[in-house]
Chain A
Amino acid sequence: MKKYQLGEFEEIVLLTVGVLYGEAYGVAIKEEIAKRQNRKVSVGALQSALRRMESKGFLNSEFGESTKMRGGKRKRYFKITALGKKALDYNMQSRVELWNQIPDVAFEFKLC
Chain B
Amino acid sequence: MLKRLGERLFTFYCHTDFQEDIKGDLEEYYAFNLKEKGEKYANGRYFIDALLLFRFSLLRDNWLSQNSNNIAMVKNNIKVAYRSMMRHKFYSFLNLTGLAISMAACVFIAIYVQDETSYDKHFQNSSKIYRVAAHLAFADNEFNLPATPDPMAKAMKMDFPEVLEAARTRGNSTEIISVNNQFFQQSGITWADQEFFNIFKFSVIRGDMDHFLDEPNTVVLEESTSKKLFGDTNPIGRIIRFNEETDLKVTGVIEDIPANTHFKYEMFISMLNREDAKQNIWLSNNFITYLELNNSILAETVEGKIPDFVVKHFGPQIKQFTGTDIATEIEAGRQTWNYFLQPIESIHLRSNLDFELDNSGSVQYVYMFSIIGFFILLIACINFMNMATARASVRAKEVGIRKVLGSMRKQLIGQFLTESLLNSILAFFMAIGIVYLMLPGFNSLTDKTLTDPIFGADGLWPYLGLAAVLVGLAAGIYPAFVLSSFLPAKVLKGEMAQGNAAKWMRNGLVVIQFTTSIFLIIGSMFVYSQLDYLQNKELGFNKDQILIINETHLLGDQVETFKDELLRSAIVENVSVSGYVPATNVSSDFPFLSENATTTDEAVSVQHWKVDYNYGGTFDIELVYGRFFNKELASDTAGVIINETAARRFGYLENPVGKKIKSLGGIVNNQSQSFTIIGVMKDFHFKSMTEQILPHALMLDSDNGRVNIKFSPEKAQDVLQFAESTWDKFANGRPFDYAFLDEVFAGSFKEQLKVKTIFTVFAILAISIACLGLFGLASYVTEQRKKEIGIRKVLGASTSRLVNLLFNNFTKLILLSILLAVPFAWWYMDGWLSDFAYPVSMNPLIFVAGGLGTLLIAWLTVGYQSLKAARRNPIDNLRYE
Contacts and interface: CB of A to CB of B under 8 A. Distances in A.
A94 B831 CA distance: 85
Nearest to B45: A43
Query: 6 nearest interchain CB pairs?
Result: A73-B24, A44-B52, A76-B21, A48-B55, A26-B25, A70-B24
Contacts of A70: 24-25, 27-28
Most A CB contacts (10 A, CB to CB) among B22, B23, B31, B49 go to B22
Interface string A52-68: 10010000000100100
28 contacts: A25-B21, A26-B21, A26-B25, A27-B25, A42-B52, A43-B22, A43-B25, A43-B26, A43-B29, A45-B55, A47-B22, A48-B56, A48-B58, A51-B58, A55-B57, A63-B21, A66-B24, A69-B27, A69-B31, A70-B27, A71-B23, A73-B20, A73-B23, A74-B21, A74-B24, A75-B21, A75-B24, A75-B25
Nearest to B18: A51
Interface in B1-49: 18, 20-29, 31, 49
Contacts of A25: 21, 25
B54 interface: yes
Majority DSSP secondary structure for residues of B touching A: helix
Contacts of A55: 57
B53 interface: yes
Contacts of A52: 57
Given A43-B22, A70-B27, A73-B20, 20 more contacts: A25-B25, A42-B49, A43-B25, A43-B26, A45-B55, A47-B22, A48-B57, A63-B21, A69-B27, A69-B31, A70-B28, A71-B23, A71-B24, A71-B27, A73-B23, A74-B20, A74-B21, A75-B24, A75-B25, A76-B20
A100 B244 CA distance: 95
A63 B25 CA distance: 13
A27 B58 CA distance: 17
A51 B20 CA distance: 14
Nearest to A71: B27
Contacts of B27: 69-71, 73
Nearest to A48: B55
Nearest to B55: A48
Interface in A36-52: 42-45, 47-48, 51-52
Contacts of B28: 27, 69-70
Contacts of B49: 42-44
Contacts of B31: 69
Interface of B: 18, 20-29, 31, 49, 52-58
A74 B24 CA distance: 7
B53 A44 contact: yes
A57 B135 CA distance: 87
A48 B21 CA distance: 13
Most B CB contacts (10 A, CB to CB) among A47, A52, A69 go to A47
Most B CB contacts (10 A, CB to CB) among A25, A26, A70, A74 go to A70
Nearest to A77: B21
Interface string A71-83: 1011110000000
Contacts of B21: 25-26, 63, 73-76
A33 to B, nearest CB: 14
Contacts of B26: 43
A44 B54 contact: yes
Nearest to A64: B21
A14 to B, nearest CB: 15
Interface residues of A, number: 21
Nearest to B27: A71
A43 B23 CA distance: 11
Contacts of A73: 20-21, 23-24, 27
A47 B51 CA distance: 13
A69 B26 CA distance: 10
A96 B414 CA distance: 53
Contacts of A66: 24
A27 B24 CA distance: 9
Contacts of A26: 21-22, 24-25
Contact of B52 (A27, A43, A74, A75): A43
A75 to B, nearest CB: 6
A45 B20 CA distance: 17
A47 B24 contact: no
Contacts of A45: 52, 55
B20 A47 contact: no
A84 B699 CA distance: 109
Contacts of B23: 71, 73
A45 B22 CA distance: 12
A84 to B, nearest CB: 16
Nearest to B14: A47
A22 B273 CA distance: 100
Contacts of A42: 49, 52
Nearest to B25: A26
B649 to A, nearest CB: 92
A70 to B, nearest CB: 4
A51 B31 CA distance: 24
B189 to A, nearest CB: 71
A4 B788 CA distance: 65
A70 B26 CA distance: 8
Contacts of A75: 21, 24-25
A45 B26 CA distance: 14
A48 B65 CA distance: 14
Given A42-B52, A55-B57, A74-B24, A47 B29 contact: no
A30 B56 CA distance: 20
B54 A47 contact: no
A22 to B, nearest CB: 16
Nearest to A49: B57
Contacts of B58: 44, 47-48, 51
Contacts of A69: 27-28, 31
A103 B20 CA distance: 52
Nearest to B23: A73
A47 B58 CA distance: 8
B120 to A, nearest CB: 56
Nearest to A46: B25
Contacts of B29: 27, 43
B777 to A, nearest CB: 51
B55 A44 contact: yes
A52 B26 CA distance: 19
A83 to B, nearest CB: 18
Contacts of B55: 44-45, 47-48
Nearest to B22: A47
A54 to B, nearest CB: 9
Contacts of B20: 63, 73-74, 76
A29 to B, nearest CB: 10
Nearest to A73: B24
Most A CB contacts (10 A, CB to CB) among B20, B21, B27 go to B21
Contacts of B52: 42-45
A19 B253 CA distance: 79
Nearest to A72: B24
A9 B28 CA distance: 23
Contacts of B56: 48
A73 B22 CA distance: 9
A28 B752 CA distance: 85
B248 to A, nearest CB: 72
A57 to B, nearest CB: 14
Nearest to A51: B57
A43 B28 CA distance: 12
A94 to B, nearest CB: 25
Nearest to A61: B21
B57 A43 contact: no
A47 B27 CA distance: 15
B27 to A, nearest CB: 4
Nearest to B48: A42
Most A CB contacts (10 A, CB to CB) among B22, B25, B54, B56 go to B25
A86 B22 CA distance: 27
A112 to B, nearest CB: 47
A47 B28 CA distance: 15
Contacts of A43: 22, 25-26, 29, 49, 52-53
